Amino acid sequence: MTRRLGILGGTFDPVHFGHLDAAAAAQSALALHEVMFLPSHDPPHRTTDPHSTSFQRLALVALAINDAKTSRVSDLELLRSGTSYTSDTLRVLHAAGWAPAQLFFILGADAFAEIATWHEIPFVLDATNFAVIARPSTTIEAALARTPELVPRTQPASAAGDRSGHTGIFLVEAATRDVSSTLIRQRIAAGQPIRDLVPAAVARHIAANNLYRTEDVLHGHNQDNKTEDN
């Protein structure tokens, strides 16, 4: 079978079990050979900068997937200046030899509901497959209700198979933990434990480096935007 690469983009500020659950669900349902975690340098749709540095966010993802042999983290977007648009990243992957039908961009149903706002969205829809994962906050049905024009492109994950150059939107029904980076930052700032929200290695790194302990985190001034930056 042709190799398939899953792509999970996001700010990962910090990475958490919700991200890992989404990656695992897509990999299982779509027979992905590998999942690439892709931290954003300058995420679209965010009004403020991430709370931790690019280096720290990259390190946190590396720690989170350290034991996953078929997952890796990429600094592709961190090394590129300007806004981290998915369309630019897909062009880089195409230039590296990946065909659109080999790529599966993983995102939650909550993010998919906002896909019409993405930069160069007509191009993006043809440049990669999408793996849309059900989320506790947004069902796949609710996301599709907000994007009715994309319904003809959607298919169940079981229909992925070997495709001849065409891209599609594959729907993955899976149980993923109801976690957000905002919740984690607020718990840390309030002195509350996060061991049920992130892998142990991530929690240790956050504690050792005193991340996310500022007052603006506690009051939620930098909310997650589950849009193109995931």
Predicted structure pTM score:
0.90
State residue 227's pLDDT score.
Answer: 42
Q: What is the pLDDT of residues 162-203, one digit of tens each?
A: 556 789 999 999 999 999 999 999 999 999 999 999 999 999
Summarize the confidence of residues 59-86 as an average pLDDT: 95
State residue 45's pLDDT score.
Answer: 67
Contact between 38 and 75 under an 8 Å Cβ cutoff? The reply is no
State residue 46's pLDDT score.
Answer: 66
Mean pLDDT for the chain? 90
Q: Any idea where the domains of the chain sit in the sequence?
A: 5-218
β strands within 27-159, DSSP E: 34-39, 71-73, 103-108, 129-133, 154-156
Which residue type occupies 160?
A
The CATH code belonging to domain 5-218 is 3.40.50.620
